[in-house]
Amino acid sequence: MSIELWYWPQIPGRGEFVRLFCEAFQLDYTDMAREQSADALVEHMHSLEGIRPFAPPYIVDDEVVIGQTALILQYLSDKEGLGSGEMEIDLQLFQLQLDIADFVEEIHSVHHPVANELYYADQMEAAFEKAAHFRGQRIPKYLIHFDNALAANGGPFMLGQQPTHVDTSLFQIMEGLDYMFPNYMKEMQGTWVNLEGLQGAVPEIEPLADYLASERRMEFNEDGIFRHYEELDEQ
Ligand SMILES: N[C@@H](CCC(=O)N[C@@H](CS)C(=O)NCC(=O)O)C(=O)O
Protein backbone atom coordinates (compact mmCIF):
# COMPACT_ATOMS: atom_id res chain seq x y z
CA MET A 1 0.00 0.00 0.00
CA SER A 2 1.22 3.47 -0.89
CA ILE A 3 2.45 5.63 2.00
CA GLU A 4 0.48 8.88 2.24
CA LEU A 5 2.66 11.95 2.63
CA TRP A 6 0.77 15.02 3.80
CA TYR A 7 2.54 18.33 3.36
CA TRP A 8 1.87 21.87 2.11
CA PRO A 9 1.74 21.71 -1.69
CA GLN A 10 3.27 25.13 -2.53
CA ILE A 11 6.72 24.77 -0.94
CA PRO A 12 9.49 22.16 -0.82
CA GLY A 13 9.78 22.81 2.94
CA ARG A 14 10.22 19.93 5.34
CA GLY A 15 8.16 17.67 3.08
CA GLU A 16 11.05 17.62 0.62
CA PHE A 17 13.23 15.74 3.12
CA VAL A 18 10.68 12.93 3.09
CA ARG A 19 10.22 13.06 -0.69
CA LEU A 20 13.97 12.85 -1.36
CA PHE A 21 14.30 9.76 0.81
CA CYS A 22 11.28 8.03 -0.74
CA GLU A 23 12.50 8.88 -4.24
CA ALA A 24 16.09 7.78 -3.64
CA PHE A 25 15.00 4.43 -2.26
CA GLN A 26 11.96 4.00 -4.49
CA LEU A 27 9.39 3.82 -1.71
CA ASP A 28 5.82 3.90 -2.95
CA TYR A 29 4.32 7.16 -1.65
CA THR A 30 1.56 9.55 -2.64
CA ASP A 31 2.02 13.29 -2.20
CA MET A 32 -1.55 13.78 -1.02
CA ALA A 33 -1.92 17.56 -0.84
CA ARG A 34 -0.12 18.05 -4.16
CA GLU A 35 -2.63 15.67 -5.72
CA GLN A 36 -5.55 17.31 -3.88
CA SER A 37 -5.03 20.74 -2.25
CA ALA A 38 -3.85 22.63 0.83
CA ASP A 39 -7.49 22.70 1.98
CA ALA A 40 -7.60 18.91 1.75
CA LEU A 41 -4.52 18.79 3.99
CA VAL A 42 -6.14 21.02 6.62
CA GLU A 43 -9.32 18.99 6.46
CA HIS A 44 -7.40 15.73 6.73
CA MET A 45 -5.39 16.97 9.73
CA HIS A 46 -8.56 17.97 11.53
CA SER A 47 -10.14 14.61 10.83
CA LEU A 48 -7.37 12.75 12.67
CA GLU A 49 -8.21 11.48 16.13
CA GLY A 50 -6.22 10.61 19.23
CA ILE A 51 -2.57 11.64 19.44
CA ARG A 52 -2.18 13.73 16.29
CA PRO A 53 0.84 15.23 14.53
CA PHE A 54 1.41 18.86 15.56
CA ALA A 55 2.19 20.03 12.03
CA PRO A 56 2.94 18.74 8.53
CA PRO A 57 4.80 16.81 7.26
CA TYR A 58 3.16 13.67 8.51
CA ILE A 59 2.61 10.27 6.96
CA VAL A 60 -0.13 7.71 7.04
CA ASP A 61 1.15 4.18 6.59
CA ASP A 62 -1.81 1.89 7.22
CA GLU A 63 -2.39 2.21 10.99
CA VAL A 64 0.70 4.34 11.58
CA VAL A 65 0.13 8.12 11.58
CA ILE A 66 3.23 10.10 12.56
CA GLY A 67 4.65 13.58 12.17
CA GLN A 68 8.11 15.07 12.81
CA THR A 69 10.38 14.83 9.78
CA ALA A 70 13.22 13.09 11.62
CA LEU A 71 10.90 10.48 13.08
CA ILE A 72 9.23 9.83 9.72
CA LEU A 73 12.61 9.22 8.11
CA GLN A 74 13.82 7.00 10.92
CA TYR A 75 10.57 5.01 10.81
CA LEU A 76 10.67 4.50 7.04
CA SER A 77 14.34 3.63 7.09
CA ASP A 78 13.82 1.02 9.83
CA LYS A 79 10.75 -0.43 8.19
CA GLU A 80 12.44 -0.81 4.80
CA GLY A 81 15.73 -2.10 6.20
CA LEU A 82 17.64 0.90 4.88
CA GLY A 83 19.74 1.60 7.96
CA SER A 84 23.03 0.06 9.02
CA GLY A 85 21.47 -2.94 10.73
CA GLU A 86 23.24 -2.03 13.98
CA MET A 87 21.26 -0.31 16.71
CA GLU A 88 24.08 1.93 17.91
CA ILE A 89 24.81 3.23 14.41
CA ASP A 90 21.14 3.65 13.53
CA LEU A 91 20.69 5.71 16.68
CA GLN A 92 23.60 7.89 15.61
CA LEU A 93 21.93 8.39 12.23
CA PHE A 94 18.74 9.39 14.04
CA GLN A 95 20.78 11.74 16.21
CA LEU A 96 22.14 13.40 13.06
CA GLN A 97 18.62 13.65 11.65
CA LEU A 98 17.55 15.42 14.86
CA ASP A 99 20.54 17.76 14.50
CA ILE A 100 19.31 18.51 10.99
CA ALA A 101 15.82 19.25 12.38
CA ASP A 102 17.32 21.71 14.87
CA PHE A 103 19.32 23.34 12.09
CA VAL A 104 16.24 23.61 9.85
CA GLU A 105 14.40 25.35 12.68
CA GLU A 106 17.26 27.83 13.04
CA ILE A 107 17.39 28.39 9.27
CA HIS A 108 13.71 29.30 9.31
CA SER A 109 14.19 31.64 12.24
CA VAL A 110 16.75 33.68 10.24
CA HIS A 111 13.94 35.26 8.21
CA HIS A 112 11.41 34.90 11.06
CA PRO A 113 13.41 35.90 14.15
CA VAL A 114 10.53 37.58 15.97
CA ALA A 115 7.44 35.50 15.20
CA ASN A 116 6.39 32.81 12.74
CA GLU A 117 3.02 34.49 12.34
CA LEU A 118 4.48 37.80 11.12
CA TYR A 119 5.60 38.49 7.54
CA TYR A 120 9.31 38.81 6.77
CA ALA A 121 8.68 42.47 5.89
CA ASP A 122 7.57 43.06 9.49
CA GLN A 123 10.79 41.70 11.01
CA MET A 124 13.47 42.65 8.50
CA GLU A 125 15.63 44.59 10.91
CA ALA A 126 15.85 41.71 13.39
CA ALA A 127 16.38 39.29 10.49
CA PHE A 128 19.32 41.32 9.23
CA GLU A 129 21.00 41.14 12.63
CA LYS A 130 20.15 37.46 13.04
CA ALA A 131 21.52 36.58 9.59
CA ALA A 132 24.94 38.05 10.41
CA HIS A 133 25.24 35.87 13.53
CA PHE A 134 23.85 32.89 11.68
CA ARG A 135 26.38 33.14 8.86
CA GLY A 136 29.24 33.89 11.23
CA GLN A 137 28.60 31.30 13.93
CA ARG A 138 25.78 28.85 13.36
CA ILE A 139 26.29 27.71 9.76
CA PRO A 140 29.98 26.85 10.35
CA LYS A 141 29.19 25.15 13.67
CA TYR A 142 26.55 22.88 12.14
CA LEU A 143 28.30 22.23 8.82
CA ILE A 144 31.65 21.40 10.42
CA HIS A 145 29.78 19.00 12.74
CA PHE A 146 28.20 17.21 9.75
CA ASP A 147 31.43 17.35 7.77
CA ASN A 148 33.38 15.69 10.60
CA ALA A 149 30.74 12.98 10.89
CA LEU A 150 31.04 12.29 7.14
CA ALA A 151 34.81 12.02 7.41
CA ALA A 152 34.48 9.20 9.96
CA ASN A 153 33.65 6.57 7.32
CA GLY A 154 35.57 8.10 4.43
CA GLY A 155 32.49 9.33 2.50
CA PRO A 156 30.92 10.08 0.20
CA PHE A 157 27.96 9.11 2.43
CA MET A 158 27.57 8.95 6.20
CA LEU A 159 28.10 5.17 6.20
CA GLY A 160 30.77 5.28 3.50
CA GLN A 161 29.43 3.79 0.27
CA GLN A 162 25.89 3.17 1.54
CA PRO A 163 23.49 6.14 1.30
CA THR A 164 20.95 6.68 4.09
CA HIS A 165 18.20 9.12 5.05
CA VAL A 166 20.85 11.39 6.58
CA ASP A 167 22.58 11.81 3.21
CA THR A 168 19.45 12.79 1.29
CA SER A 169 18.64 15.29 4.07
CA LEU A 170 22.15 16.81 4.11
CA PHE A 171 21.96 17.14 0.33
CA GLN A 172 18.80 19.23 0.76
CA ILE A 173 20.48 21.32 3.46
CA MET A 174 23.42 22.13 1.16
CA GLU A 175 21.17 22.89 -1.82
CA GLY A 176 18.99 25.08 0.39
CA LEU A 177 21.92 27.02 1.84
CA ASP A 178 23.35 27.56 -1.66
CA TYR A 179 20.00 29.06 -2.63
CA MET A 180 19.60 31.12 0.52
CA PHE A 181 23.15 32.44 0.90
CA PRO A 182 24.86 32.17 -2.53
CA ASN A 183 27.59 34.74 -1.75
CA TYR A 184 28.40 33.28 1.64
CA MET A 185 28.43 29.68 0.44
CA LYS A 186 30.66 30.59 -2.50
CA GLU A 187 33.10 32.36 -0.22
CA MET A 188 33.18 29.37 2.15
CA GLN A 189 33.68 26.82 -0.63
CA GLY A 190 36.33 24.28 0.36
CA THR A 191 35.63 24.64 4.09
CA TRP A 192 33.39 21.56 4.29
CA VAL A 193 34.77 19.34 1.54
CA ASN A 194 33.04 16.16 2.71
CA LEU A 195 29.66 17.86 2.51
CA GLU A 196 30.52 19.18 -0.92
CA GLY A 197 31.43 15.61 -1.93
CA LEU A 198 28.09 14.38 -0.60
CA GLN A 199 26.28 17.15 -2.47
CA GLY A 200 27.82 15.80 -5.68
CA ALA A 201 27.26 12.12 -4.85
CA VAL A 202 23.60 12.18 -3.78
CA PRO A 203 22.23 13.25 -7.19
CA GLU A 204 24.06 10.26 -8.66
CA ILE A 205 21.79 7.85 -6.77
CA GLU A 206 19.98 6.76 -9.90
CA PRO A 207 16.29 7.03 -9.01
CA LEU A 208 17.01 10.36 -7.39
CA ALA A 209 18.62 11.73 -10.56
CA ASP A 210 15.33 11.05 -12.36
CA TYR A 211 13.37 12.79 -9.63
CA LEU A 212 15.66 15.83 -9.52
CA ALA A 213 15.27 16.25 -13.27
CA SER A 214 11.49 15.89 -13.10
CA GLU A 215 8.77 18.47 -12.63
CA ARG A 216 7.98 16.94 -9.26
CA ARG A 217 11.16 18.46 -7.81
CA MET A 218 10.00 21.84 -6.54
CA GLU A 219 12.10 25.00 -6.79
CA PHE A 220 13.01 26.82 -3.59
CA ASN A 221 10.84 29.89 -3.10
CA GLU A 222 10.25 32.78 -0.71
CA ASP A 223 7.36 31.04 1.08
CA GLY A 224 9.49 28.13 2.19
CA ILE A 225 12.25 27.47 4.70
CA PHE A 226 15.24 28.33 2.51
CA ARG A 227 14.51 31.85 1.23
CA HIS A 228 16.81 34.10 -0.71
CA TYR A 229 16.78 37.70 0.46
CA GLU A 230 19.80 39.54 -0.89
CA GLU A 231 20.15 41.71 2.22
CA LEU A 232 20.57 38.61 4.43
CA ASP A 233 23.48 37.39 2.32
CA GLU A 234 25.54 40.58 2.48
CA GLN A 235 29.17 39.99 3.37
N1 LIG B 1 9.71 19.72 14.09
C2 LIG B 1 8.75 19.55 13.04
C3 LIG B 1 8.30 20.92 12.58
C4 LIG B 1 7.06 20.87 11.73
C5 LIG B 1 6.70 22.24 11.21
O6 LIG B 1 7.08 23.28 11.77
N7 LIG B 1 5.97 22.27 10.09
C8 LIG B 1 5.61 23.54 9.46
C9 LIG B 1 5.71 23.45 7.96
S10 LIG B 1 7.39 23.13 7.46
C11 LIG B 1 4.20 23.90 9.83
O12 LIG B 1 3.26 23.69 9.08
N13 LIG B 1 4.06 24.47 11.02
C14 LIG B 1 2.81 24.95 11.53
C15 LIG B 1 3.00 25.56 12.90
O16 LIG B 1 4.11 25.50 13.43
O17 LIG B 1 2.03 26.09 13.40
C18 LIG B 1 9.37 18.72 11.90
O19 LIG B 1 10.62 18.67 11.84
O20 LIG B 1 8.66 18.09 11.11
- pLDDT tens per residue, range 213-223: 999 999 999 99
What pLDDT, on the 0 to 100 scale, is given for residue 124?
97
Q: Is the pLDDT score of 235 beyond 90? A: no
Minimum CA distance residue for ligand 1 atom 18: 68
Contact, 35 vs 7, CB < 8 A? no
Q: Is the pLDDT score of 55 beyond 80? A: yes
Q: Is residue 104 in a domain?
A: yes
Q: Is residue 98 in a domain?
A: yes
Q: Is residue 69 in a domain?
A: no
Burial of 110: CB neighbours in 10 Å, binned 0-12, 13-18, 19+: buried
Measured CA distances, 5 to 43, 75, 97, 151 (Å): 14, 13, 18, 33
Q: Is residue 72 in a domain?
A: no
Q: How many domains in the chain?
A: 1
Q: Is residue 117 in a domain?
A: yes
Q: Is the pLDDT score of 182 beyond 90? A: yes
Ligand 1 pocket test target in 54, 58, 173 with most atoms within 8 Å of CB? 54
The share of the chain scoring above pLDDT 70, in percent, equals: 100
Which residues approach ligand 1 with their CB closer than 6 A? 13-14, 55-57, 68-69, 101
Q: Is residue 166 in a domain?
A: yes
CATH number of residue 100's parent domain: 1.20.1050.10
> For residue 1, what pLDDT band results from cuts at 50, 70 and 90?
confident
Long-range contacts of 186-193 (CB under 8 A, 24+ apart): 187/235, 188/139, 188/140, 191/140, 191/143, 191/144, 192/143, 192/144, 192/146, 192/147, 193/147
Q: Is residue 30 in a domain?
A: no
Q: What is the pLDDT averaged over residues 59-63?
A: 97
Q: Is the pLDDT score of 234 beyond 90? A: no
Domain of 162 in residue numbering reads as: 87-205
Q: Is residue 126 in a domain?
A: yes
